[in-house]
Structure 1
Amino acid sequence: MGKIPVGVSQCLLGEKVRFDGGHKRSRYLTDVLGEYMEFRPVCPEVAIGLGIPRKPIRLVVIGDETRVRGVENPDLDVTDALVAQAEAAAQQMPDICGYVFMQNSPSCGAYGMKRYRTNGYSMDNKGRGAYAKRFMELMPLLPVEEAGRLNDAGLRDNFLSRVFAYHDFKTHVAPAPTAKKLIEFYSRYKYQVMAHHVPSYFSIGRYLSNLAGHDIQASSEEFFRLFMEALSHHATRKGNTNAMMHLRGYLKEVISTVEKQELSQLIDSYKAGLVPLVVPLTLLKHHLLKLDNPYLKSQTFWSPHPERLGLRNHIIENV
């Protein structure tokens, strides 16, 4: 499929563009994900003309607005420039399938940014960097995460699952959508969607059963919205267990009583949080391959991202 284009805060690639002249290189991005992703680096603060090094800036609440102002020079306001840079970057990178932002940045922080009052006192942690906020508004379905949050196994799994699914759709369906392509695409993702959000599993199925007579381009765009919103829900132990139990139903006439008991025990152990997801999943997949069923083999639930990343070796704690 080729490398997946992904936006990234430039400092995370080891470029010395931060306000203090340093960087925040993420070796997970450069050394691990770099094998699968083509990074599109942006430092919005440098792009709008702020120097290296430069005086710090922060989020300041003024009335009902959050502005990005200088810490030492409160007359410095770069909010509008950062918003404009986000709009320019979105136009320049329409093909990206995800974005990794630098945390705790008044331009790039995507979640829980500290906001200040005009008197300099801390107000809350409800802010979002001006560049990141505008970019996320322009591309609301785009998988987005902060580099620091990728240390969490569940968040990492969810983000990368969405990136690979986003790229899959944009590559194989979006360029020339048809009803057949939409149905075939979703058939591969059914159990993955079930693990993430059961209501979406049913609602998407109903939507695809009623495509006749509708504009296919509009239908494709609506399907993609429903699909990405479904995957934005984190797969939980309950959701993964539910999907595995449904898949186990295909084995009723294939495996022995002892094998059924072994598989059930492993699924129950995962459900109880005693073993990682990869343990029951590996045995279930081993048995299902005996069926030589193309539909089951094609399920992305087995590997929503490359197995070499080993992400599911750590999925145990999400409840």
Structure 2
Amino acid sequence: MSPESVNQKPASAGGFPRPVLFISRCLGFDSCRYNGETIRDPFVEKLKPFVETGTLCPEVEAGLGVPRAPVRIVLHGDRPILYQPATGKDITPDMLAVTEAFRNETQAGEFDGFILKSRSPSCGFKDVKVYKSDGKDPRNISGSGSRGTGFFGGAIAETFMEKFGLPVEDEGRLLNFTIREHFLLRIFTLARFRMVKESNTIQALIDFHTDNKLLFLGMNEGGMRELGRITAAYNKKNLADTLDSYEKELKKTLVKPPSYKAMINSLQHAFGHVSRDLLPKERGFFLNLLEEYRDERIPLSVPVKLIASYAVRFDNGYLLRQNLLSPYPPGITDITDSGKGRDY
């Protein structure tokens, strides 16, 4: 079951590549929720001008109309089922067919990331309510139930997040600034690498690695060094193998959000390229900013923007090409933070 492609645009905007995202269709693309409504998520709306999207509503694809009676996950006996209490229908076979078709028809490199509807019995990939029946009739709920994954969303996470290393989030978790920033960093970096694969030249890979060296240092120093080793080991007979190895290591390098310690280390390396040109008070000011960032009093963007201003001021070619200074379009996100969804 291929997702419907919408909102397609030219390959880049403002110098940034366009990540290709799968987004649950109800998140601002169609009025396909059970109650016939759509959800205008502010972050998804901000993303739309900067990305290409494929969308799908698994419940509609499974044959449920709009509007429709709600469905729920019920642990019936020893297995979960997708059940529609108002009609008494077990939707499980149809939903499994939709899910399997999507997994079979979607290539690993087709999307750079996924945004799913949170807590949905179909699209939710975590924290979905699971009811427990009495074992005789799925309409008879017994006990408080538990939390699990939706049928479609759980399969997406298992295949594309755990197996292929792609970012998978939901609109609820993306209210958290740290999660949102990490998601953006990953999808735009993966989109840049997709352009490297399309160019199919070693020079494009060398340029990509050089442009992202400080970013990788701030994400995972061990990963940065392994990516450098893969690039240096290239010979003209194995570019495809080199790109494949690099992509696998790249996804591992990006999978965890940067720690304060690692990112400060990267910023100090960047600062070393301009510090000799600064006045003592300017150097002290920057180092104080790093301490404020370490203490979580300011976001990462503050010391990064200051480094960027130094790069422009001194026309430092190495820093000006670093994606750390501008990993994604500045108009997408802000520093608002729900404080929810944090799991690291």
TM-score (normalised: structure 2): 0.81
**In the alignment, which residue of structure 2 is the partner of 1:124?**
146
Deviation at 1:14, TM superposition (A): 5.6
Matched, 1:157 2:181: yes
Matched, 1:81 2:110: no
Deviation at 1:150, TM superposition (A): 1.5
Counterparts in 2 of 1:260 and 1:247: CA distance versus 1, 3 Å: same
3-state SS of paired residue (1:301):
helix
**In the alignment, which residue of structure 1 is the partner of 2:83?**
69
TM-score (normalised: structure 1): 0.87
- The CA distance in 1 between the partners of 2:83 and 2:186, in whole Å, is 34
Map 1:1-319 → 2, pairs under 5 A: 1=12, 3-13=18-28, 15-30=30-45, 32-61=46-75, 65-72=79-86, 76-78=90-92, 80-89=93-102, 91=105, 95-119=110-134, 120=141, 121-125=143-147, 127-139=148-160, 140-170=164-194, 172-212=195-235, 215-311=238-334, 313=335
Deviation at 1:89, TM superposition (A): 3.7
Deviation at 1:213, TM superposition (A): 7.2
Counterparts in 2 of 1:304 and 1:216: CA distance versus 1, 3 Å: same
Deviation at 1:290, TM superposition (A): 4.0
Percent identity between the aligned chains? 25
3-state SS of paired residue (2:197):
coil
Gaps of 5+ in 2: 1-11, 135-140
Deviations 1:193-233 (A, max 9, x none): 22222222222223323233773223212211211222121
After alignment, is 271-280 or 68-77 more displaced? 68-77
- The CA distance in 2 between the partners of 1:105 and 1:178, in whole Å, is 43
CA contact (8 A) 2:131 2:146 kept: yes
Counterparts in 2 of 1:189 and 1:246: CA distance versus 1, 3 Å: same
Aligned-residue CA RMSD in angstroms? Answer: 2.7
Deviation at 1:73, TM superposition (A): 5.8
Deviation at 1:291, TM superposition (A): 4.2
Counterparts in 2 of 1:70 and 1:272: CA distance versus 1, 3 Å: same
3-state SS of paired residue (2:74):
strand
- The CA distance in 1 between the partners of 2:85 and 2:210, in whole Å, is 53
Counterparts in 2 of 1:52 and 1:303: CA distance versus 1, 3 Å: same
Deviation at 1:305, TM superposition (A): 0.8
More relative contact order in 1 or in 2 (CA 8 Å, sep 6+)?
Answer: 2
- The CA distance in 2 between the partners of 1:14 and 1:181, in whole Å, is 35
3-state SS of paired residue (2:273):
helix
CA contact (8 A) 2:74 2:131 kept: yes
Gaps of 5+ in 1: none
- The CA distance in 2 between the partners of 1:62 and 1:249, in whole Å, is 61
3-state SS of paired residue (1:16):
coil
- The CA distance in 1 between the partners of 2:153 and 2:207, in whole Å, is 34
Q: Which amino acid aligns with 2:176?
A: D
After alignment, is 38-47 or 233-242 more displaced? 233-242
After alignment, is 232-241 or 68-77 more displaced? 68-77
Counterparts in 2 of 1:183 and 1:71: CA distance versus 1, 3 Å: farther
